[in-house]
Amino acid sequence: MKILAIETSCDETCAAVTEGTNILSNVVYSQIDLHKEFGGVVPSIAKRAHEERIELIINKAIQELGVRSQELDAVAVTAGPGLAIALEVGIRYAKELAKKWNKPLIAVNHIEGHVVSGLTPEVKFPAMALVVSGGHTELIWVEKIGQYKIVARTMDDALGEALDKAARMLGLGYPGGAELEKRAALGNPKIYPLPLPMARSKELAFSYSGLKTAFYRLISAKGQVLSAKDTNDLAASFQKRAFEHLIRMTRRVIQDSGFMIHDLLVGGGVAANTKLREEIKKLSEEVGINVYFPQKGMYGDNAGMIGIAAGFKAERGEFSDPEKIDRLPRWRIDE
Ligand code: KG4
Ligand code: ZN
């Protein structure tokens, strides 16, 4: 079954054609340059940019393959979670195309896309999925594809959001996760001690706002222009603690939460971080499970992952009524 998938939940305009877990084409137009100067995603700018590009991106995804619209079997689109006015753009287009081509429509949860982004036929279920992005930090129990339960999520900032804010405090631009990684690799994490989030809490959850505040105080206390060495050391400290918290909570969920799991699936933009992947790999060896990461280009937002999730939904006959499909900005994966 060949599926055209569309993703416009945030600041990437994406279209892909997939067949099962095979990605036949996967086109991403990143709007980062448009949002950069504002230090974050501006919804109205995202909406307009999606509107301006979407047709081009969809055509590119289809033409790259040389297939004709008649050869496609379904149209899939991210219905949430995400920015309402951005989601709307993709949904409107998906509806129009499904109608024009007389194809079924499939509404996909964006987080489910990240969950299946690293899927291979070897993955054994039940599994645990760790999604770390700019908007989400979630551990999700995956009984099987389509059956989910959120086990831990962030109470405040997402990991990517926290890294971006820390990077901004250091003047590293937006989004700063990747730049912070580069600086952290050059720094010494022991020079500036930061608190480990939720160190004494028994709760299964993530929290990054306390770490962010402590980091802000640390930088303010220095009260001077930061040298390159200071910046590197501060970046190393923040990244170290942020990842330590993530790994510690993931270990606890795997070992102590009582959920039976075979494998760990990882997805989301922050997992593009080499250091984080090393830490996750170490953890998986320590607890004796296999870990699966997305292939290159599938960490951040893309429509390929939406098409993969849609393929499984199609197998289960889960299609959407074009008259009823609507944006779900706060759609939980387990709802
Ligand atoms: O999955 P994604 O593209 O979009 C969302 O769904 O949010 O994730 C974007 C996030 C940003 O916070 C960005 O700073 C972070 O992923 N990111 C990284 C790296 N590359 C992207 N964080 C740490 N290290 C990286 N190498
Ligand atoms: Zn995402």
Report whether residue 269 contacts ligand 1, using a CB cutoff of 6 Å.
yes
Q: Are strands 74-80 and 22-30 parallel, antiparallel or unpaired?
A: unpaired
Question: Who has greater pLDDT, 256 or 83?
Answer: 83
Run of H or E residues at 264: strand 263-267
Task: Name the residue of 110, 246, 270, 305 whose CB sits within 8 Å of the most ligand 1 atoms, as the mutation to test its pocket.
Answer: 270
Average pLDDT over residues 23-35: 95
Average pLDDT over residues 96-116: 97
Torsions phi, psi for 17 (to 5 deg): -120, 130
Average pLDDT over residues 127-132: 98
Q: How high is the mean pLDDT of the chain?
A: 96
The two domains 2-115+296-315 and 124-292 share their CATH topology (first three levels equal):
yes
Report whether residue 104 contacts ligand 1, using a CB cutoff of 6 Å.
no
Tokens found for residue 291:
């870990």
Torsions phi, psi for 36 (to 5 deg): -45, -55
The answer on pLDDT for 146 being more than 90 is yes
Average pLDDT over residues 154-174: 97
Q: Which atom of ligand 1 is nearest to the CA of 301?
A: 3
Could you tell me which residues are beta bridge partners of residue 29? 13
For residue 222, the CA-to-ligand 2 centroid distance in Å is 35
For residue 78, the CA-to-ligand 2 centroid distance in Å is 10
Tokens found for residue 105:
């429509």
Report whether residue 81 contacts ligand 1, using a CB cutoff of 6 Å.
no
Amino acid at residue number 50: H
Residue 291, annotated ligand binder?
Answer: no
For residue 68, the CA-to-ligand 1 centroid distance in Å is 34
Report whether residue 111 contacts ligand 1, using a CB cutoff of 6 Å.
no
Report whether residue 272 contacts ligand 1, using a CB cutoff of 6 Å.
yes
Torsions phi, psi for 216 (to 5 deg): -60, -45
Tokens found for residue 168:
């901004």
Fold of 124-292: Nucleotidyltransferase; domain 5 (3.30.420)
Give the position of tokens 């280009």.
297
250 in Cβ contact with 283 (< 8 Å)? yes
Report whether residue 294 contacts ligand 1, using a CB cutoff of 6 Å.
no
Q: Which ligand is nearest to the CA of 298?
A: 1
Q: What is the pLDDT of residue 242?
A: 98
Q: What is the pLDDT of residue 123?
A: 98
Q: What is the pLDDT of residue 64?
A: 87
Fold of 2-115+296-315: Nucleotidyltransferase; domain 5 (3.30.420)
For residue 299, the CA-to-ligand 1 centroid distance in Å is 8
Q: What is the pLDDT of residue 66?
A: 85
The answer on pLDDT for 68 being more than 90 is no
Residue 161, annotated ligand binder?
Answer: no
Give the position of tokens 């020079």.
191
Residue nearest (by alpha carbon) to ligand 1 atom 13: 177
Residue 334, annotated ligand binder?
Answer: no
The answer on pLDDT for 271 being more than 90 is yes
**What do you get for the CA distance between the two ends of the chain, in Å?**
26
Report whether residue 181 contacts ligand 1, using a CB cutoff of 6 Å.
yes
Amino acid at residue number 113: G
Q: What is the pLDDT of residue 162?
A: 98
160 closest CA partner among 97, 222, 206:
206
pTM exceeding the 0.75 threshold for the entire prediction = yes
- Helices (DSSP H) in the chain: which residue ranges? 32-35, 43-63, 84-101, 110-116, 159-169, 177-186, 209-222, 228-256, 274-287, 304-315
Angstrom CA distances, 6 to 57, 110, 121, 304, stand at: 9, 11, 24, 9
Confidence of residue 69 (pLDDT cuts 50, 70, 90): confident
Tokens found for residue 314:
């199609």
Domain locations in the chain? 2-115+296-315, 124-292
Torsions phi, psi for 26 (to 5 deg): -155, 100
Tell me the pLDDT tens digit for each residue of 210-254. 999 999 999 999 888 899 999 999 999 999 999 999 999 999 999
